[in-house]
């Protein structure tokens, strides 16, 4: 099941996409920024798909492609994994079941962004 954060993010992307279409902005990807802040402070926008494309040689011909997003081995999320990998590999001590996802209640319980996003933003 998605968390409140997931549901809010997807809803925001969809509503923003509707506004882009209504404004005649076809060929744009809907985006939402400031995701580590409360949803009321998120910033919606759009980016032309062509801005994400690079030219790469494929089968001997140059083709426009969206560049692969590889794991940044120097990034905070991967460094965090490296620090905890051995401990997390132990199935007896590493598994924690926090209970079902909470959809209603205090913001600090229900509306948390993902751990990866927080690590990427240095939080």
* Mean pLDDT in residue range 17-28: 95
**Number of folded domains in the chain?**
1
Query: Measured between alpha carbons, how far is 6 from 99 in angstroms, rounded to an integer?
Result: 17
Q: What is the mean pLDDT of the chain?
A: 86
Average pLDDT over residues 110-120: 79
- Confidence category of residue 97, pLDDT binned at 50, 70, 90: low
pLDDT, average across residues 83-93: 81
pTM for the structure as a whole = 0.66
Containing structural domain, residue 101: 4-120
10 Å CB burial of residue 1 (0-12, 13-18, 19+) is: exposed
Under DSSP, is residue 115 helix (H, G, I), strand (E, B) or coil? helix
Query: What confidence score (pLDDT) does residue 1 get?
Result: 63
Summarised one tens digit per residue, pLDDT across range 24-75 is 999 999 999 999 998 899 999 999 998 889 999 999 999 999 888 888 999 9
94 band by pLDDT with thresholds 50, 70 and 90? low
């Amino acid at each position: 099941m998605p968390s409140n954060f997931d549901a809010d993010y997807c809803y925001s992307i969809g509503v923003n996409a509707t506004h882009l279409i209504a404004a005649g902005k076809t060929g744009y990807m809907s985006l939402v920024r400031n995701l580590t802040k409360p949803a009321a402070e998120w910033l919606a926008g759009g980016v032309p798909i062509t801005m994400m494309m690079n030219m790469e040689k494929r089968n001997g011909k140059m083709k426009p492609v969206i560049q692969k997003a590889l794991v940044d081995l120097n990034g905070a999320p991967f460094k965090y994994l490296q620090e905890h990998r051995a401990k997390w590999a132990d199935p007896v001590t590493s598994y924690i079941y926090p209970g079902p996802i909470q959809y209603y209640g205090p913001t600090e319980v229900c509306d948390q962004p993902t751990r990866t996003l927080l690590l990427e933003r240095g939080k």
